[in-house]
Amino acid sequence: MDYLKNLNEPQLEGVMNTEGPCMIIAGAGSGKTRVLTMRIAHLIKAQEVDPFNILALTFTNKASKEMRNRIEDVVGHEARNIWMGTFHSIFARILRAEASKLGYPSNFTIYDTDDSKSLIKNIVKEKGLDDKVYKPNTVLNRISAAKNRLVSWQEYLKNPIYRADDESAMKPEVGNIYQAYADRCFKASAMDFDDLLFNTNVLFRDHLDVLNKYQQRFRYVLVDEFQDTNLSQYLITKKLAAVNQNICVVGDDAQSIYAFRGADIQNILNFEKDYVDLRVIKLEQNYRSTQNIVDAANSVINKNRAQLKKKVWTENTPGELIEVIKASSDNEEGKLVASNIFEEKMHHQLSYEDFAILYRTNSQSRSIEEALRRANIKYKIIGGLSFYQRKEIKDILSYLRFAINQQDEQALRRIINLPKRGIGPASVDKVVVAAYEHDITIWEVLENIHSFLSGRTANAIADFVTMIKAFKLEIERKDAFEAATHIAKNSGILRELYEDKTIEGLNRYENVQELLNAIKEYVDNEENEDKSLGAFLQEIALLTSVDQDKSEDNDLVTLMTIHMAKGLEFKYIYVVGMEEDLFPSQMMLSSRADLEEERRLFYVAITRAKIKLCLSYALNRYRFGRLKNCEPSRFLEDIDPKYIKVNRLQKGSDALAFDQLNPNHGTGSQYARNLVNSVRKKPAPNPQHYHKPDKDFAPSDTSGLAEGMKVEHAKFGFGVV
C-alpha cells in the first residue's frame, strides 16, 4: 500500500474511513486535496469499489485531470471510469441524458455569459426599457443570484421581497425580464451556466426515479473546495448522498472567496446538522510553505472575526522573511518584480514555472507584462480574453452550434449575416416577432420565410436555410472534425479570413485552423467516450479560465488573479498592487463581511507560496486613465512585522516608509531589529527540502473566475469589479 506511505495520522484517518459522512475542514496546504485523492484511490484499490460508482466534484476540469492522474498511478486504467469533474460538466452530462424529462432536447445548447448578456439586451430593447438602467450585466447577476438560491421566475415574481429590492434599486422590471429570459432560453433549447445546476435540482425534485437511479450509481460522493459551493450545488450533493450517506467534503472556511457569486460558508455549518454521525477531521500540519509564510498567513487570518479557529503549523524550515517591495509607480513596480524574479531564478537555479504573479483584478497585468517583456522573461496569463472568446472562433462555434440546434437564437443572430448576405438585424427581429405571434419556432419561420417576408432578404434567408440543412446532414454523417471543416469552408468564413491578407487576418485564419486541430485532437483522444461535435462544444463551453491554459512551453512565469490561484502552489509568489482601494478592492469596503472576504482572498494569495512570498505596492498608479496617489494596503499591517523585511534594494529609506505604513507599531526599532536579524542570520533557503520528490502528488488546481468579476453587495447591489 505505497500510496498510504506519505500520509500523516489524521490524513490516514481521512483516507481509510471511507464509509459514512465525513468533513475535513483544514487550513491551506495541509493536504486536503491529497487526502481526497488518496481516499478515491483507496476506495478502488482496497475496497474494490467500481470507479463508475464514484462521483468527485472539483473546482476546475484541470484539477480533476490531475487528480485522475494521481489516482491512475495507484489503480491503473480504471481511474478513467470515475465520474470526476466540475459541477457544471458532470451535471451537464447528466442533463443531456435526461433532457427529455425537462422538456429539453438532448442537443440543447449551453449559453455562455456573452450569449446570456446579449439575450438580456434584446429583451430590454424589445420591452422598450432603458438599457442604461437595465444593464445586461446587472440584470444577469440578479437572475443568476436568484437561480443559485433556487428561486424560479415564478417565485421571483410572487415574492414581495425581490420586488421591493428591485424597486428600491429603481429596476422594477427585473422580474419580468427574468421571466422573458427563462422563456427565451427554453424556446432556444438553451441552458445558461446557472441553469445547469438549477435544472439538475428540478430534475431530482420532480423525477424521483431519476434521482434514485443516480443515488444508486453514485455510492460515493466527494467534493473538493467545499467552502465555495453555493446552495444549488449543496442541495445536489445532499440529494445524491441521501441514501448511501457516503459523502466526503473537504475545504477551508478561511479560503471562502466566492460569496459574491453565491457561495455560502453556511454550507459547512449546515453539514454538521445534516449528518448526525458525521466524522470531522482536522488537518493542522502544513506541508506546502515555510514557517514564515505559514505564520504570516495565520497572523492575517486571525484578524477576521468570522472563522472557525484552527491551528496551522509546519515542520518546514523557517525560510526567508516576506519581502515587501515599495515602488514609486506601477511601471516601476513591474520593473522591480521582473528584476527580482530574474535574480531569484539565477541565484537559486530555478525555472520560470516556479514563479507566479498574482493580482486582484485582470487589468493590473498590463504594467507587469510590459516589464516582463522588457526583461525578456517569458510568461503566460491565465484568464483574460481566451482563445474560445475570440471573434472568429466564436463565429465558427456559432455555426456549429446552430447546425446542431436550430433553435439557438443567439447563435443564429451571430451568423445569419456572416459573411454578409444582406440580412439585417431588423429582419432578424421580424423573424423573432413572427415566431412569437404564430407561436412557432424561429426555425419554422426561417424554413417558411416566404410566408413572412418577401424580396431579396427572403431569398437570402432561404439560401441560408438550405445551407444549414446541408450542414446538419454533414454532422449526422461525418465525424466531428470532418463536419466542422466542411462547415468552416462552406459557410464562407474561412474564405473571408483567407482573403484578408493583413497580419490580423492571417492570425484569425490560423486561429480557425487551430480550432479545427483542437476538434481533431478531441476526436482522436481515446479518453473521450462521446466524440460527437455536440460533446466537443459542451466541453469547451464549460472550460474555466484555468482549464484553457494550453501553453506548450512550460517554462513560463504564470500571471493570474488571486481567485484563479485557488488550490495551486508555486515556489515563489508575488502579490502586486498591495494598495488601498485596489486590494482590498474599493467595492469591498462597505461592510465587515466584505472586508473579511477580501482578507480571506489575501490569505489565499499568501498560502500559495512554498518558498518565498513578495508583496509589492506602488505610490502612484494609473487608474481609470488618471495618475493616482496610492496608500499601502491595510493588509500589509495585518502581517505581524516580525515576518517581514522591506525591499532590500532601498533598505535605509524603506525602514522609514515601513513605519509610516505601520503607525500602530510605533518606532522603527522593532523593525530595525528584525531587519538586522534577518540580515545577520538570513536563513539560507534549503533547496533540498523543496526538491524532495513531490512527483507522487501534484498540486490540486482549482479556480475559475472569468474576466469582469461580478460582485453582489449588501449595500451597493450588483456591480463588476
Residue placing its CB nearer to ligand ATP in the complex, 192 or 701: 701
Residue placing its CB nearer to ligand ATP in the complex, 369 or 694: 694
Of the candidates 79, 107, 81, the one whose C-alpha atom is nearest the C-alpha of residue 92 is 107
Question: Using the rule CB under 5 A, which residue among 11, 18, 30, 33 binds Mg ion?
Answer: 33
Residue placing its CB nearer to ligand ATP in the complex, 367 or 702: 702
Residue 526: how many other CB atoms lie within 10 Å: 7
What residue has cell string 424561429?
A: 442
Tell me if 383 is assigned to a ligand binding site. Answer: no
* 567 touching ligand ATP, by CB under 6 A: yes
Residue placing its CB nearer to Mg ion in the complex, 383 or 567: 567
* Smallest separation (angstroms) from Mg ion to the CB of 451: 59
Catalytic site residue from 11, 32, 166, 215: 32
Of the candidates 343, 287, 286, 292, the one whose C-alpha atom is nearest the C-alpha of residue 320 is 292
Handedness of CA 469, 472, 474, 477 (dihedral sign): negative
Residue placing its CB nearer to ligand ATP in the complex, 28 or 711: 28
Tell me if 33 is assigned to a ligand binding site. Answer: yes
Contact criterion met (CB below 8 Å) for 224 and 26: no
Q: b vs e for 583-595, b when ≥16 Cβ sit within 10 Å of the residue's Cβ?
A: bbbebbeeeeebb
Question: Whose CB is nearest to ligand ATP?
Answer: 31
Has 113 been annotated as catalytic? no
* 567 touching Mg ion, by CB under 5 A: yes
Is the preceding peptide bond at 584 cis, omega within 30 degrees of 0? yes
* Smallest separation (angstroms) from ligand ATP to the CB of 380: 21
* Smallest separation (angstroms) from ligand ATP to the CB of 67: 10
Residue placing its CB nearer to ligand ATP in the complex, 3 or 134: 3
Residue 694, contacted partner among ligand ATP, Mg ion, none, CB below 5-8 A by kind: ligand ATP
Residue placing its CB nearer to ligand ATP in the complex, 34 or 135: 34
Beta strands at 355-359 and 379-381: parallel, antiparallel or unpaired? unpaired
Stretches 25-33, 57-65, 273-281, 674-682: which one binds ligand ATP (CB under 6 A)? 25-33
Tell me if 28 is assigned to a ligand binding site. Answer: yes
Residue placing its CB nearer to ligand ATP in the complex, 262 or 699: 699
Residue 28, contacted partner among ligand ATP, Mg ion, none, CB below 5-8 A by kind: ligand ATP
* Smallest separation (angstroms) from ligand ATP to the CB of 578: 20
Q: What is the 3-state secondary structure (H, E, C) of 74-117?
A: HHHHHHHHCEEEEHHHHHHHHHHHHHHHHCCCCCCEEECHHHHH
Stretches 143-151, 282-290, 566-574, 664-672: which one binds Mg ion (CB under 5 A)? 566-574
Has 608 been annotated as catalytic? yes
Helices 174-187 + 136-148 axis angle, to 10 = 80
| Number of residues lying near ligand ATP (CB under 6 A) | 22
Q: Please calculate the CA angle 234-237-240 and round it to the nearest 5 degrees.
A: 145
Helices 651-661 + 669-680 axis angle, to 10 = 140
x/- string (CB under 6 A) for ligand ATP, residues 590-629? -----------------x----------------------
| Number of residues lying near Mg ion (CB under 5 A) | 4
Tell me if 534 is assigned to a ligand binding site. Answer: no
* Smallest separation (angstroms) from Mg ion to the CB of 29: 8
Contact criterion met (CB below 8 Å) for 244 and 43: no
Residue 589, contacted partner among Mg ion, ligand ATP, none, CB below 5-8 A by kind: none
Question: Using the rule CB under 6 A, which residue among 14, 31, 383, 534 binds ligand ATP?
Answer: 31
Tell me if 30 is assigned to a ligand binding site. Answer: yes
Has 474 been annotated as catalytic? no
Stretches 126-134, 318-326, 561-569, 645-653: which one binds Mg ion (CB under 5 A)? 561-569
Classify burial at 160, counting beta carbons within 10 Å of its beta carbon; exposed 0-12, middle 13-18, buried 19 or more: exposed
Tell me if 296 is assigned to a ligand binding site. Answer: no
* Smallest separation (angstroms) from ligand ATP to the CB of 474: 45
Cα(3)–Cα(75) distance, integer angstroms: 10
Residue placing its CB nearer to ligand ATP in the complex, 32 or 486: 32
* 289 touching ligand ATP, by CB under 6 A: no
Catalytic site residue from 401, 414, 599, 608: 608
Stretches 6-14, 134-142, 178-186, 681-689: which one binds ligand ATP (CB under 6 A)? 6-14
Stretches 29-37, 137-145, 298-306, 508-516: which one binds Mg ion (CB under 5 A)? 29-37
In the window 678-707, what residues touch Mg ion (CB under 5 A)?
700
Stretches 27-35, 171-179, 500-508, 707-715: which one binds ligand ATP (CB under 6 A)? 27-35
Of the candidates 36, 54, 257, the one whose C-alpha atom is nearest the C-alpha of residue 704 is 257
* 113 touching ligand ATP, by CB under 6 A: no
Beta strands at 717-720 and 710-713: parallel, antiparallel or unpaired? antiparallel
Residues in the chain: 721
* 267 touching ligand ATP, by CB under 6 A: no
Beta strands at 279-281 and 322-329: parallel, antiparallel or unpaired? unpaired
Three cell numbers written together for 338: 521582473
* 697 touching ligand ATP, by CB under 6 A: yes
Q: What is the DSSP letter of 692?
A: S
* Helix, strand and coil percent figures for the chain, each rounded to 5: 55, 15, 30
**Please, what's the largest Cα pairwise distance for the chain?**
88
Question: Using the rule CB under 6 A, which residue among 429, 496, 694, 707 binds ligand ATP?
Answer: 694
Residue placing its CB nearer to ligand ATP in the complex, 233 or 491: 233
Of the candidates 640, 636, 534, the one whose C-alpha atom is nearest the C-alpha of residue 299 is 640
Contact criterion met (CB below 8 Å) for 257 and 600: yes
Which residues on adjacent β-strands are paired with residue 222?
A: 56, 248
Contact criterion met (CB below 8 Å) for 312 and 28: yes
Has 344 been annotated as catalytic? no
* Smallest separation (angstroms) from ligand ATP to the CB of 226: 11
What residues contact residue 602 under an 8 Å CB cut-off, 6+ apart? 300, 562, 575, 583, 635, 638
x/- string (CB under 6 A) for ligand ATP, residues 426-465? ----------------------------------------
Has 482 been annotated as catalytic? no
Angstrom CA distances, 329 to 131, 332, 356, 368, 686, stand at 37, 5, 21, 11, 33
Tell me if 328 is assigned to a ligand binding site. Answer: no
* 29 touching ligand ATP, by CB under 6 A: yes
Cα(493)–Cα(159) distance, integer angstroms: 47
Contact criterion met (CB below 8 Å) for 222 and 249: yes
* 252 touching ligand ATP, by CB under 6 A: yes
* Interacting residues toward ligand ATP by CB under 6 A: 6-8, 11, 28-34, 252, 255, 287-288, 567, 569, 607, 694, 697, 699-700
* Interacting residues toward Mg ion by CB under 5 A: 32-33, 567, 700
Which residues contribute to the annotated binding site?
26-33
Which residues contribute to the annotated binding site for ATP?
26-33
Q: Which residues are catalytic?
A: 32-33, 224-225, 255, 608
